[in-house]
Amino acid sequence: MDKEQIYAVIKKHLLENVEDLQEADIDPQKSMKDYGANSLDIIEVVSCAMRELNIKIPRSELAEIKTIDELTNKFVANSSVES
Amino acid sequence: MKKIGIEKINLYGCSLFMPQAELARARGKDPEQVVNDYLINTRSLNPPYEDTVTMGANAARNLLTEEEKNQIGLLIVGTEGSVDFGKPISTNIHRALGLPPNVRNFETKHACYSGVAGLDTAISWIASGLNRGKKALLIATDFSRQHFHKDHEFVLGGVAAAVLISEEPKIIEYEIERNGYWTTDIYDTFRPTARQEAGNNEVSLYSYMDALEGAYKHYQESVGPDLNFDNDFAYNMYHMPFPGMAFQAHRVLCNLARPRKKSEIRESFNQKVLPSLRYASRVGSTYGASNFIGLCGLLKSIEQAGPEERIGFFAYGSGAIGEFYSARICPGAKQRIEDLKIDEALDQRREVSFEEYELIEKIRENAVEQPEFEPDLTLLDDWYARHYAGQKYLVLKSVRDYYREYIWS
Protein backbone atom coordinates (compact mmCIF):
# COMPACT_ATOMS: atom_id res chain seq x y z
CA MET A 1 0.00 0.00 0.00
CA ASP A 2 1.49 3.35 -0.95
CA LYS A 3 1.77 6.48 1.13
CA GLU A 4 -1.07 8.24 -0.65
CA GLN A 5 -3.54 5.45 0.19
CA ILE A 6 -2.44 5.30 3.83
CA TYR A 7 -2.70 9.06 4.17
CA ALA A 8 -6.23 8.89 2.75
CA VAL A 9 -7.29 6.36 5.40
CA ILE A 10 -5.83 8.43 8.25
CA LYS A 11 -7.52 11.54 6.86
CA LYS A 12 -10.87 9.75 6.62
CA HIS A 13 -10.80 8.75 10.29
CA LEU A 14 -9.58 12.18 11.34
CA LEU A 15 -12.57 13.76 9.60
CA GLU A 16 -14.92 11.26 11.27
CA ASN A 17 -13.60 12.00 14.74
CA VAL A 18 -13.05 15.74 14.73
CA GLU A 19 -16.04 18.01 14.41
CA ASP A 20 -16.14 20.92 11.98
CA LEU A 21 -13.03 19.84 10.13
CA GLN A 22 -12.92 20.13 6.31
CA GLU A 23 -10.69 17.93 4.21
CA ALA A 24 -9.17 20.93 2.42
CA ASP A 25 -8.00 22.34 5.77
CA ILE A 26 -5.83 19.35 6.64
CA ASP A 27 -2.11 19.95 6.41
CA PRO A 28 -0.06 16.76 6.95
CA GLN A 29 2.76 18.79 8.48
CA LYS A 30 0.52 19.66 11.38
CA SER A 31 -0.54 17.65 14.42
CA MET A 32 -4.07 16.33 14.84
CA LYS A 33 -4.15 18.45 17.99
CA ASP A 34 -3.93 21.56 15.81
CA TYR A 35 -7.39 20.63 14.54
CA GLY A 36 -8.90 20.29 17.99
CA ALA A 37 -8.47 16.54 18.43
CA ASN A 38 -7.88 15.60 22.07
CA SER A 39 -5.71 12.67 23.14
CA LEU A 40 -8.65 10.26 23.16
CA ASP A 41 -9.72 11.31 19.65
CA ILE A 42 -6.19 10.73 18.39
CA ILE A 43 -6.15 7.24 19.91
CA GLU A 44 -9.38 6.49 18.07
CA VAL A 45 -8.08 7.78 14.74
CA VAL A 46 -4.94 5.70 15.14
CA SER A 47 -6.86 2.59 16.25
CA CYS A 48 -9.38 2.77 13.40
CA ALA A 49 -6.72 3.45 10.77
CA MET A 50 -4.56 0.57 11.97
CA ARG A 51 -7.55 -1.76 11.87
CA GLU A 52 -8.52 -0.73 8.35
CA LEU A 53 -4.95 -0.95 7.09
CA ASN A 54 -4.32 -4.20 8.95
CA ILE A 55 -1.24 -2.70 10.58
CA LYS A 56 -0.18 -3.82 14.04
CA ILE A 57 2.14 -1.49 15.93
CA PRO A 58 2.08 -1.09 19.71
CA ARG A 59 0.21 2.17 20.14
CA SER A 60 2.73 3.24 22.75
CA GLU A 61 5.34 3.54 19.95
CA LEU A 62 3.16 6.22 18.38
CA ALA A 63 3.00 8.56 21.36
CA GLU A 64 6.05 10.58 20.36
CA ILE A 65 4.85 11.22 16.82
CA LYS A 66 4.19 14.91 16.25
CA THR A 67 2.59 15.32 12.82
CA ILE A 68 0.11 13.55 10.56
CA ASP A 69 2.92 13.06 8.04
CA GLU A 70 5.12 11.33 10.62
CA LEU A 71 2.24 9.00 11.48
CA THR A 72 1.72 8.25 7.78
CA ASN A 73 5.42 7.43 7.39
CA LYS A 74 5.35 5.15 10.42
CA PHE A 75 2.41 3.27 8.90
CA VAL A 76 4.12 3.12 5.50
CA ALA A 77 7.25 1.63 7.05
CA ASN A 78 5.24 -0.94 8.96
CA SER A 79 2.99 -1.72 6.02
CA SER A 80 5.95 -2.60 3.78
CA VAL A 81 7.39 -4.89 6.45
CA GLU A 82 4.04 -6.68 6.69
CA SER A 83 3.67 -7.22 2.93
CA MET B 1 -15.35 -25.40 41.49
CA LYS B 2 -15.94 -23.23 44.56
CA LYS B 3 -18.04 -20.10 44.48
CA ILE B 4 -15.74 -17.16 45.19
CA GLY B 5 -16.61 -13.50 45.22
CA ILE B 6 -17.23 -10.31 47.12
CA GLU B 7 -19.20 -10.86 50.29
CA LYS B 8 -18.95 -7.27 51.51
CA ILE B 9 -17.56 -4.03 50.15
CA ASN B 10 -17.27 -0.37 51.10
CA LEU B 11 -15.36 2.69 49.99
CA TYR B 12 -13.90 5.78 51.59
CA GLY B 13 -13.80 8.96 49.54
CA CYS B 14 -11.86 11.15 52.02
CA SER B 15 -13.32 14.05 53.99
CA LEU B 16 -12.63 17.01 51.70
CA PHE B 17 -13.25 17.82 48.06
CA MET B 18 -12.31 20.42 45.48
CA PRO B 19 -14.69 21.22 42.59
CA GLN B 20 -12.91 20.58 39.30
CA ALA B 21 -14.43 23.66 37.64
CA GLU B 22 -12.96 25.88 40.39
CA LEU B 23 -9.54 24.38 39.86
CA ALA B 24 -9.83 24.87 36.09
CA ARG B 25 -10.82 28.52 36.55
CA ALA B 26 -7.95 29.17 38.95
CA ARG B 27 -5.53 27.69 36.40
CA GLY B 28 -6.94 29.73 33.52
CA LYS B 29 -8.60 26.80 31.74
CA ASP B 30 -12.11 26.49 30.37
CA PRO B 31 -14.03 24.89 33.29
CA GLU B 32 -16.68 23.30 31.09
CA GLN B 33 -14.13 21.69 28.83
CA VAL B 34 -12.06 20.37 31.73
CA VAL B 35 -15.11 18.81 33.39
CA ASN B 36 -16.38 17.31 30.12
CA ASP B 37 -13.02 15.92 28.98
CA TYR B 38 -12.24 14.13 32.21
CA LEU B 39 -15.79 13.64 33.55
CA ILE B 40 -14.61 14.58 37.03
CA ASN B 41 -16.91 16.96 38.90
CA THR B 42 -15.08 17.01 42.21
CA ARG B 43 -11.84 15.48 43.42
CA SER B 44 -11.14 14.09 46.89
CA LEU B 45 -8.65 15.75 49.14
CA ASN B 46 -7.05 14.59 52.39
CA PRO B 47 -6.36 16.78 55.40
CA PRO B 48 -2.74 16.38 56.59
CA TYR B 49 -3.81 13.91 59.27
CA GLU B 50 -4.89 11.35 56.68
CA ASP B 51 -2.79 9.18 54.37
CA THR B 52 -3.13 5.84 52.58
CA VAL B 53 -3.09 4.00 55.94
CA THR B 54 -6.01 5.97 57.38
CA MET B 55 -7.94 5.86 54.11
CA GLY B 56 -7.62 2.08 53.90
CA ALA B 57 -8.63 1.59 57.52
CA ASN B 58 -11.51 4.05 57.17
CA ALA B 59 -12.85 2.11 54.17
CA ALA B 60 -12.82 -1.06 56.28
CA ARG B 61 -13.81 0.40 59.66
CA ASN B 62 -17.48 -0.65 59.55
CA LEU B 63 -17.08 -3.59 57.19
CA LEU B 64 -16.52 -6.46 59.61
CA THR B 65 -18.23 -7.71 62.75
CA GLU B 66 -16.02 -8.94 65.61
CA GLU B 67 -16.86 -12.50 64.60
CA GLU B 68 -15.89 -11.83 60.98
CA LYS B 69 -12.55 -10.38 62.06
CA ASN B 70 -11.68 -13.80 63.47
CA GLN B 71 -12.51 -15.38 60.10
CA ILE B 72 -9.86 -13.35 58.25
CA GLY B 73 -6.76 -15.30 57.25
CA LEU B 74 -5.31 -12.98 54.63
CA LEU B 75 -5.05 -9.20 54.43
CA ILE B 76 -3.69 -7.63 51.24
CA VAL B 77 -3.31 -3.89 50.84
CA GLY B 78 -2.70 -2.56 47.34
CA THR B 79 -1.21 0.91 46.99
CA GLU B 80 1.25 3.04 45.05
CA GLY B 81 1.29 5.58 47.87
CA SER B 82 2.79 3.69 50.78
CA VAL B 83 4.33 5.66 53.63
CA ASP B 84 7.32 3.33 53.97
CA PHE B 85 9.59 1.45 51.56
CA GLY B 86 10.01 -1.60 53.82
CA LYS B 87 7.24 -1.87 56.38
CA PRO B 88 4.00 -2.61 54.55
CA ILE B 89 0.98 -0.51 55.47
CA SER B 90 -0.97 -3.75 55.77
CA THR B 91 0.65 -4.04 59.23
CA ASN B 92 -0.59 -0.58 60.31
CA ILE B 93 -4.06 -1.41 59.03
CA HIS B 94 -4.01 -4.88 60.62
CA ARG B 95 -3.41 -3.29 64.01
CA ALA B 96 -5.92 -0.48 63.50
CA LEU B 97 -8.70 -2.90 62.58
CA GLY B 98 -7.91 -5.21 65.48
CA LEU B 99 -7.47 -8.33 63.36
CA PRO B 100 -6.18 -11.54 64.99
CA PRO B 101 -2.45 -12.39 64.80
CA ASN B 102 -2.72 -15.38 62.45
CA VAL B 103 -3.31 -13.26 59.38
CA ARG B 104 -0.87 -13.37 56.47
CA ASN B 105 -0.55 -9.82 55.24
CA PHE B 106 1.45 -7.79 52.76
CA GLU B 107 1.33 -4.86 50.39
CA THR B 108 1.00 -5.17 46.62
CA LYS B 109 2.38 -2.68 44.13
CA HIS B 110 1.76 -2.39 40.42
CA ALA B 111 0.58 1.21 40.00
CA CYS B 112 -3.21 1.15 39.57
CA TYR B 113 -3.24 -2.64 39.21
CA SER B 114 -2.32 -3.14 42.88
CA GLY B 115 -5.92 -3.81 43.92
CA VAL B 116 -6.68 -6.42 41.28
CA ALA B 117 -3.25 -8.03 41.77
CA GLY B 118 -4.33 -8.50 45.40
CA LEU B 119 -7.78 -9.68 44.33
CA ASP B 120 -6.31 -12.39 42.08
CA THR B 121 -4.05 -13.55 44.92
CA ALA B 122 -6.97 -13.72 47.34
CA ILE B 123 -9.12 -15.63 44.85
CA SER B 124 -6.35 -18.14 44.12
CA TRP B 125 -5.73 -18.67 47.85
CA ILE B 126 -9.38 -19.45 48.44
CA ALA B 127 -9.75 -21.56 45.29
CA SER B 128 -6.73 -23.67 46.27
CA GLY B 129 -8.33 -24.65 49.57
CA LEU B 130 -5.22 -23.48 51.46
CA ASN B 131 -7.41 -20.85 53.11
CA ARG B 132 -8.87 -23.61 55.33
CA GLY B 133 -12.25 -21.88 55.40
CA LYS B 134 -10.84 -18.41 56.12
CA LYS B 135 -11.71 -15.22 54.26
CA ALA B 136 -9.53 -12.53 52.69
CA LEU B 137 -9.72 -8.82 53.33
CA LEU B 138 -8.50 -6.81 50.37
CA ILE B 139 -7.93 -3.08 50.60
CA ALA B 140 -6.91 -0.75 47.79
CA THR B 141 -5.91 2.72 48.94
CA ASP B 142 -4.30 5.48 46.90
CA PHE B 143 -3.88 9.18 46.92
CA SER B 144 -2.29 11.55 44.40
CA ARG B 145 0.67 13.81 45.02
CA GLN B 146 0.95 17.54 44.60
CA HIS B 147 1.12 18.64 40.95
CA PHE B 148 0.34 22.34 40.76
CA HIS B 149 0.19 23.72 37.20
CA LYS B 150 0.82 20.39 35.49
CA ASP B 151 -1.50 18.94 32.85
CA HIS B 152 -2.35 16.01 35.08
CA GLU B 153 -3.43 18.30 37.93
CA PHE B 154 -6.95 17.66 36.61
CA VAL B 155 -6.78 13.89 36.99
CA LEU B 156 -5.81 13.67 40.65
CA GLY B 157 -7.67 12.66 43.77
CA GLY B 158 -7.92 9.54 45.85
CA VAL B 159 -10.15 6.87 47.29
CA ALA B 160 -9.92 3.58 49.16
CA ALA B 161 -11.98 0.41 48.88
CA ALA B 162 -12.27 -2.48 51.33
CA VAL B 163 -13.51 -5.81 50.06
CA LEU B 164 -14.25 -9.07 51.86
CA ILE B 165 -13.50 -11.99 49.53
CA SER B 166 -14.95 -15.35 50.52
CA GLU B 167 -16.76 -18.51 49.51
CA GLU B 168 -20.06 -16.80 50.32
CA PRO B 169 -20.35 -14.11 47.63
CA LYS B 170 -23.19 -11.67 48.17
CA ILE B 171 -22.26 -8.81 45.81
CA ILE B 172 -20.60 -10.47 42.82
CA GLU B 173 -19.30 -13.95 42.11
CA TYR B 174 -16.11 -14.11 40.06
CA GLU B 175 -15.92 -16.36 37.01
CA ILE B 176 -12.52 -17.55 38.04
CA GLU B 177 -11.79 -19.66 34.99
CA ARG B 178 -12.37 -16.74 32.63
CA ASN B 179 -9.43 -14.39 32.74
CA GLY B 180 -6.99 -12.62 30.47
CA TYR B 181 -3.91 -10.50 31.06
CA TRP B 182 -1.28 -8.70 29.01
CA THR B 183 1.91 -6.94 29.97
CA THR B 184 4.73 -4.83 28.53
CA ASP B 185 7.69 -2.99 30.05
CA ILE B 186 7.03 0.70 29.57
CA TYR B 187 7.51 4.00 31.41
CA ASP B 188 4.09 5.60 31.06
CA THR B 189 3.40 6.97 34.54
CA PHE B 190 5.56 6.15 37.53
CA ARG B 191 6.59 7.36 40.98
CA PRO B 192 10.41 7.43 41.11
CA THR B 193 10.52 9.22 44.49
CA ALA B 194 8.14 9.67 47.39
CA ARG B 195 7.11 13.07 45.96
CA GLN B 196 7.22 12.67 42.19
CA GLU B 197 4.63 11.25 39.84
CA ALA B 198 6.42 11.26 36.51
CA GLY B 199 5.60 10.16 33.00
CA ASN B 200 3.77 10.96 29.85
CA ASN B 201 0.00 10.92 29.80
CA GLU B 202 -0.18 10.20 26.10
CA VAL B 203 2.10 7.19 26.34
CA SER B 204 -0.12 5.97 29.17
CA LEU B 205 -3.33 6.34 27.17
CA TYR B 206 -1.80 4.42 24.27
CA SER B 207 -0.37 1.71 26.47
CA TYR B 208 -3.72 1.39 28.28
CA MET B 209 -5.42 0.66 24.94
CA ASP B 210 -2.73 -1.86 23.94
CA ALA B 211 -3.21 -3.62 27.28
CA LEU B 212 -7.00 -3.53 26.94
CA GLU B 213 -6.93 -5.16 23.53
CA GLY B 214 -4.26 -7.68 24.59
CA ALA B 215 -6.03 -8.65 27.81
CA TYR B 216 -9.42 -8.94 26.14
CA LYS B 217 -8.04 -11.25 23.44
CA HIS B 218 -6.42 -13.37 26.14
CA TYR B 219 -9.76 -13.48 28.01
CA GLN B 220 -11.38 -14.57 24.76
CA GLU B 221 -8.95 -17.52 24.60
CA SER B 222 -10.04 -18.60 28.09
CA VAL B 223 -13.73 -18.50 27.12
CA GLY B 224 -13.60 -19.85 23.58
CA PRO B 225 -14.95 -18.79 20.20
CA ASP B 226 -18.54 -18.32 21.41
CA LEU B 227 -17.73 -15.16 23.36
CA ASN B 228 -19.93 -12.34 22.13
CA PHE B 229 -18.94 -8.89 23.37
CA ASP B 230 -22.33 -7.31 22.70
CA ASN B 231 -24.50 -10.05 24.18
CA ASP B 232 -22.42 -11.58 26.93
CA PHE B 233 -21.86 -8.55 29.15
CA ALA B 234 -24.76 -6.73 30.78
CA TYR B 235 -22.24 -4.14 31.96
CA ASN B 236 -18.64 -3.20 31.26
CA MET B 237 -16.35 -1.54 33.69
CA TYR B 238 -12.97 -0.04 32.82
CA HIS B 239 -10.09 1.20 34.89
CA MET B 240 -10.58 4.92 35.39
CA PRO B 241 -7.43 7.00 35.76
CA PHE B 242 -10.12 9.56 35.06
CA PRO B 243 -13.72 8.57 34.27
CA GLY B 244 -13.57 10.07 30.75
CA MET B 245 -11.20 7.25 29.84
CA ALA B 246 -13.98 4.69 30.11
CA PHE B 247 -15.70 5.88 26.93
CA GLN B 248 -12.56 5.47 24.86
CA ALA B 249 -11.93 2.04 26.35
CA HIS B 250 -15.45 0.91 25.51
CA ARG B 251 -15.03 2.32 22.00
CA VAL B 252 -11.94 0.16 21.47
CA LEU B 253 -13.65 -3.08 22.54
CA CYS B 254 -16.88 -2.30 20.64
CA ASN B 255 -14.92 -1.68 17.45
CA LEU B 256 -12.79 -4.75 18.02
CA ALA B 257 -15.95 -6.89 18.10
CA ARG B 258 -17.55 -5.10 15.16
CA PRO B 259 -16.65 -1.68 13.74
CA ARG B 260 -19.54 0.72 14.30
CA LYS B 261 -20.52 4.36 14.43
CA LYS B 262 -19.71 6.62 17.36
CA SER B 263 -23.43 7.20 18.06
CA GLU B 264 -24.02 3.47 18.47
CA ILE B 265 -21.04 3.23 20.80
CA ARG B 266 -22.35 6.19 22.80
CA GLU B 267 -25.67 4.41 23.24
CA SER B 268 -23.99 1.20 24.41
CA PHE B 269 -21.71 3.25 26.71
CA ASN B 270 -24.66 5.04 28.31
CA GLN B 271 -26.36 1.77 29.06
CA LYS B 272 -23.47 -0.49 30.03
CA VAL B 273 -20.65 1.73 31.30
CA LEU B 274 -21.91 5.14 32.41
CA PRO B 275 -23.55 3.87 35.66
CA SER B 276 -20.12 2.77 36.92
CA LEU B 277 -18.75 6.34 36.71
CA ARG B 278 -20.98 7.59 39.52
CA TYR B 279 -18.44 7.75 42.35
CA ALA B 280 -15.31 8.22 40.25
CA SER B 281 -16.80 11.50 39.04
CA ARG B 282 -16.90 12.60 42.69
CA VAL B 283 -13.48 11.43 43.93
CA GLY B 284 -11.29 11.94 40.85
CA SER B 285 -8.61 9.41 40.02
CA THR B 286 -9.47 6.03 41.53
CA TYR B 287 -6.07 4.32 41.15
CA GLY B 288 -5.94 0.75 42.53
CA ALA B 289 -9.49 0.89 43.86
CA SER B 290 -10.93 1.69 40.45
CA ASN B 291 -12.82 -1.52 39.66
CA PHE B 292 -14.32 -1.64 43.17
CA ILE B 293 -15.41 2.00 43.08
CA GLY B 294 -16.91 1.35 39.65
CA LEU B 295 -18.77 -1.68 40.99
CA CYS B 296 -20.32 0.31 43.87
CA GLY B 297 -21.32 3.07 41.44
CA LEU B 298 -22.83 0.62 38.99
CA LEU B 299 -24.96 -1.24 41.54
CA LYS B 300 -26.13 2.01 43.09
CA SER B 301 -26.99 3.65 39.76
CA ILE B 302 -28.87 0.95 37.89
CA GLU B 303 -32.61 0.65 38.41
CA GLN B 304 -32.54 -3.04 39.01
CA ALA B 305 -29.78 -5.59 38.82
CA GLY B 306 -30.86 -8.82 37.20
CA PRO B 307 -29.50 -11.83 39.03
CA GLU B 308 -26.60 -13.53 37.29
CA GLU B 309 -26.02 -10.55 35.00
CA ARG B 310 -22.40 -10.55 33.88
CA ILE B 311 -20.03 -7.62 34.37
CA GLY B 312 -16.86 -7.41 32.29
CA PHE B 313 -14.02 -5.73 34.21
CA PHE B 314 -10.82 -4.22 32.92
CA ALA B 315 -8.01 -3.31 35.30
CA TYR B 316 -4.87 -1.45 34.23
CA GLY B 317 -1.63 -0.60 35.96
CA SER B 318 1.05 1.61 34.47
CA GLY B 319 4.35 -0.06 33.92
CA ALA B 320 2.26 -1.79 32.48
CA ILE B 321 -0.32 -4.53 32.78
CA GLY B 322 -3.94 -5.02 31.81
CA GLU B 323 -6.36 -7.66 33.03
CA PHE B 324 -9.82 -8.49 31.74
CA TYR B 325 -12.03 -10.61 33.98
CA SER B 326 -15.70 -11.09 34.70
CA ALA B 327 -18.20 -11.70 37.46
CA ARG B 328 -21.92 -12.29 37.94
CA ILE B 329 -24.13 -10.06 40.06
CA CYS B 330 -25.52 -11.83 43.15
CA PRO B 331 -29.20 -11.60 44.12
CA GLY B 332 -29.77 -8.74 46.58
CA ALA B 333 -26.48 -7.04 45.69
CA LYS B 334 -28.07 -3.73 44.77
CA GLN B 335 -29.85 -3.44 48.11
CA ARG B 336 -26.61 -4.19 49.97
CA ILE B 337 -24.91 -1.32 48.15
CA GLU B 338 -27.90 0.97 48.81
CA ASP B 339 -27.58 0.19 52.52
CA LEU B 340 -24.00 1.51 52.57
CA LYS B 341 -25.27 5.06 51.90
CA ILE B 342 -22.14 5.97 49.97
CA ASP B 343 -23.67 9.10 48.44
CA GLU B 344 -24.56 10.38 51.89
CA ALA B 345 -21.02 9.74 53.13
CA LEU B 346 -19.58 11.70 50.18
CA ASP B 347 -22.09 14.50 50.83
CA GLN B 348 -20.54 14.98 54.27
CA ARG B 349 -17.19 15.99 52.80
CA ARG B 350 -16.19 19.62 53.19
CA GLU B 351 -15.63 21.72 50.08
CA VAL B 352 -12.32 23.53 50.06
CA SER B 353 -11.52 26.78 48.29
CA PHE B 354 -8.70 26.97 45.79
CA GLU B 355 -6.50 28.68 48.41
CA GLU B 356 -7.25 25.98 50.96
CA TYR B 357 -6.47 23.31 48.35
CA GLU B 358 -3.04 24.80 47.69
CA LEU B 359 -2.36 25.19 51.40
CA ILE B 360 -3.28 21.59 52.24
CA GLU B 361 -1.36 20.11 49.35
CA LYS B 362 1.76 22.07 50.35
CA ILE B 363 1.51 20.89 53.95
CA ARG B 364 1.03 17.30 52.81
CA GLU B 365 3.97 17.47 50.46
CA ASN B 366 6.26 18.99 53.07
CA ALA B 367 5.39 16.19 55.50
CA VAL B 368 6.57 13.46 53.12
CA GLU B 369 9.63 11.60 54.48
CA GLN B 370 9.91 13.94 57.48
CA PRO B 371 11.17 12.25 60.66
CA GLU B 372 9.01 14.54 62.80
CA PHE B 373 5.51 15.68 61.95
CA GLU B 374 2.45 16.58 63.94
CA PRO B 375 -0.57 17.50 61.86
CA ASP B 376 -2.44 20.65 62.84
CA LEU B 377 -5.96 19.56 63.83
CA THR B 378 -7.32 23.12 63.83
CA LEU B 379 -6.89 23.56 60.07
CA LEU B 380 -9.92 24.40 57.90
CA ASP B 381 -11.99 25.96 60.69
CA ASP B 382 -11.51 23.08 63.08
CA TRP B 383 -12.60 20.47 60.54
CA TYR B 384 -11.23 17.75 62.80
CA ALA B 385 -13.45 18.80 65.71
CA ARG B 386 -16.49 19.11 63.45
CA HIS B 387 -16.15 15.97 61.33
CA TYR B 388 -13.76 13.52 62.96
CA ALA B 389 -13.88 13.88 66.75
CA GLY B 390 -15.78 11.01 68.33
CA GLN B 391 -16.73 9.52 64.95
CA LYS B 392 -14.10 6.75 64.99
CA TYR B 393 -12.09 7.54 61.88
CA LEU B 394 -8.44 6.50 61.84
CA VAL B 395 -6.10 9.51 61.76
CA LEU B 396 -2.36 10.10 61.86
CA LYS B 397 -1.54 11.50 65.29
CA SER B 398 2.15 12.09 64.85
CA VAL B 399 5.43 11.02 63.32
CA ARG B 400 8.29 10.77 65.84
CA ASP B 401 11.74 9.73 64.63
CA TYR B 402 9.89 8.19 61.64
CA TYR B 403 7.59 6.10 63.87
CA ARG B 404 4.02 6.78 62.80
CA GLU B 405 1.26 6.72 65.39
CA TYR B 406 -2.33 6.32 64.29
CA ILE B 407 -5.37 6.72 66.53
CA TRP B 408 -9.12 6.41 66.14
CA SER B 409 -10.72 9.87 66.37
Is residue B239 flagged as an active site residue?
Answer: yes
Per-residue confidence band for A41, with pLDDT thresholds at 50, 70 and 90? confident
Residue finishing a domain among B317, B338, B359: B338
The three-state secondary structure class of A5 is: helix
Whose CA is closest to B90, among B140, B46, B48, B165? Answer: B140
Domain count, chain B: 2
Identify the CATH number of the domain in which residue B358 sits: 3.40.47.10
Residue in B184, B203, B244 nearest the CB of A63: B203
Give yes or no: residues B148 and B289 share one domain. no
Residue segments in chain B with a per-residue pLDDT below the cut of 50:
none
Contact flag B259-A48 (C-beta cutoff 8 Å)? yes
Per-residue confidence band for A81, with pLDDT thresholds at 50, 70 and 90? low
Give yes or no: residues B147 and B182 share one domain. no
CATH homologous superfamily for the domain A3-82: ACP-like (1.10.1200.10)
Residue in B206, B248, B259 nearest the CB of A62: B206
Asked, as a colleague might, if the bond just before B320 is cis with ω within 30 of 0, I would say yes
The predicted pLDDT at position B173 comes to: 98
Residue finishing a domain among B290, B312, B338: B338
Domain limits of chain A?
Answer: 3-82
Q: Give per-residue burial for B37-48: e unless 16+ CB within 10 Å, then b.
A: bbbbbbbbbbbb
Cα distance from A4 to chain B (closest Cα, Å)?
23
Cα B310 to Cα B328: distance, rounded to the nearest angstrom: 4
Cα distance from B325 to chain A (closest Cα, Å)?
22
Residue finishing a domain among B338, B366, B393: B338
Give yes or no: residues B158 and B114 share one domain. yes
Cα B158 to Cα B283: distance, rounded to the nearest angstrom: 6
- Residue by residue, DSSP assigns B140-180 as EEEE----TTSGGGGG-BEEEEEEEEESS-SSEEEEEEEEE
Is residue B149 flagged as an active site residue?
Answer: no
Give yes or no: residues B89 and B138 share one domain. yes
Residue in B200, B205, B259 nearest the CB of A40: B205
Give yes or no: residues B50 and B113 share one domain. yes
Cα B255 to Cα A11: distance, rounded to the nearest angstrom: 18
B289 in reach of chain A (CB within 8 A): no
Contact flag B210-A60 (C-beta cutoff 8 Å)? yes
B165 Cβ neighbours under 8 A, 6+ residues apart? B4, B5, B6, B7, B119, B122, B123, B126, B135, B136, B137, B138
Is it the case that residue A82 has pLDDT exceeding 50?
A: no
pTM listed for this prediction: 0.94
Indicate which of B182, B201, B206 best probes the interface with A, i.e. most A CBs within 10 Å of its own CB: B206
Domain holding B230, by residue range, is 174-338
Catalytic residue among B94, B107, B110, B112: B112
Among residues 91-150 of chain B, which lie with CB inside 8 Å of chain A?
none
Tens-place pLDDT, residues B112-169: 999 999 999 999 999 999 999 999 999 999 999 999 998 889 999 999 999 999 999 9
Average pLDDT of chain A, as a whole number: 87
Is residue B405 flagged as an active site residue?
Answer: no
Is it the case that residue A19 has pLDDT exceeding 80?
A: no
The neighbour count for residue B197, using CB atoms within 10 Å, is 18
Residues of A in contact with B210 (CB under 8 A): 58-60
Which residue of chain B comes nearest to A43, CA vs CA?
Answer: B206
Give yes or no: residues B113 and B140 share one domain. yes
Give yes or no: residues B242 and B321 share one domain. yes
Share above pLDDT 70 across residues of chain A, in percent, rounded to a whole number:
95
Per-residue confidence band for A83, with pLDDT thresholds at 50, 70 and 90? very low
